[in-house]
Amino acid sequence: MVQNVASVMTELEPEDFHLLSGVEQGMRFSEYVNREKLTEFSRLSEENVDYRLDRCADRELLERKTMQYEGFKLTFEGYDALALHTFVERDTIEGFGAPLGVGKESDVYEVQSYKPMALKYHREGYTNFREVMKEREYTADRDHVSWLYTARKAAEREYEALETLYPDVSVPQPIDTNRHAIIMEKIDGVELSRTGLEPEQVVPLLELVLDEMQTAYREGFVHADMSEYNVFVTTQGIVVFDWPQAVPTDHENARELLTRDVDNIVSYFQRKYPAEVDDVDVDAVADAVATDSFESLAGY
């Protein structure tokens, strides 16, 4: 797991961030940034670059490699530190809190602002990357640049979906985004997968989820990773989260993905509550959702 970068943040000085951001700029051109280019990218003197490189490498914000030249690249912790620093500079957040969840492709933490928020660091492209690292000496440039890029793109996509859908669809309110990170409203709820519903709650709750999917479709998005793990049940109702893979409704696979989403969620309810949920015509429900005519499960 990627370490929590908050602990080193207090030790870092403004010029450490200049250096890290210099390495980030250099990584657009090569996997490892040549030490000699770093004075230019970071606008620090040579001595200062040397001093800061050691400080940042000691804290595992950078990784060093000696090839034909001595090169440096950001670790995910270094990238995390840059994003966190930006949020603090913008006064989006004031403090860092406990982990809220570790997903396959993200780390989510509580952060302090005028109220508690959730900070989600995207890790897409990194998990596989770690696997590859174990297997062989790593040299391919293209692959490496891709973890920064892939994670940043995922954060962008998720933020865009949240901005479009909030507040018409019940999603966490988006607050800010930078690099591979997004700040959103912290949801106080329990993941659907961990709830045990009373019999009379089962069908209404499933209908609530389908209704949110319908509004999302009307607003232009299919979630495309709908499951009991991406729905919170709260005292107010439900919140659908985890949107980085959302697909616009004009995408050629949108309808197919909508049907798969409907199937996933209906199947979950059927497996867990067979006495409450009868056979459902998933295709017909998906059609209704797509044409904005879904009202209840009666008749499907």
Ligand X SMILES: Nc1ncnc2c1ncn2[C@@H]1O[C@H](COP(=O)(O)OP(=O)(O)OP(=O)(O)O)[C@@H](O)[C@H]1O
Give catalytic residue positions. 225
* 106 binds ligand X per the rule CB under 6 A: yes
Can you tell me the distance from the alpha carbon of 67 to that of 7, in angstroms, rounded to the nearest whole number? 31
Per partner kind, with CB cut-offs from 5 to 8 A, the member of ligand X, Mg ion, none near residue 106 is ligand X
What would the two tokens of residue 299 be? 């008749």
Amino acid identity of residue 102, one-letter, is V
Q: How far is the CB of 9 from ligand X (least distance, A)?
A: 21
List, as own/partner pairs, every contact residues 138-144 make where C-beta atoms lie below 8 angstroms and the sequence separation is at least 24, other chains included. Answer: 139/31, 140/31, 141/30, 141/31, 144/27, 144/31, 144/73
* 104 binds ligand X per the rule CB under 6 A: yes
* 265 binds ligand X per the rule CB under 6 A: no
User: 77: burial class by Cβ within 10 Å (0-12, 13-18, 19+)?
Assistant: buried
Can you tell me the distance from the alpha carbon of 246 to that of 220, in angstroms, rounded to the nearest whole number? 10
Q: How far is the CB of 244 from Mg ion (least distance, A)?
A: 9
Q: Which of residues 60-89 bind ligand X (CB under 6 A)?
A: none
Q: Which of residues 170-209 bind ligand X (CB under 6 A)?
A: 172, 184-187, 191
What would the two tokens of residue 80 be? 């995390």
Q: How far is the CB of 208 from ligand X (least distance, A)?
A: 18
- Nearer CB in complex with Mg ion: 139/193: 193
* 223 binds ligand X per the rule CB under 6 A: no
- Decide: helix, strand or coil at residue 177: strand
The residues that touch ligand X, with contacts defined as CB under 6 A, are: 100-101, 103-106, 108, 118, 120, 172, 184-187, 191, 229-230, 241-242
The residues that touch Mg ion, with contacts defined as CB under 5 A, are: 103, 230, 242
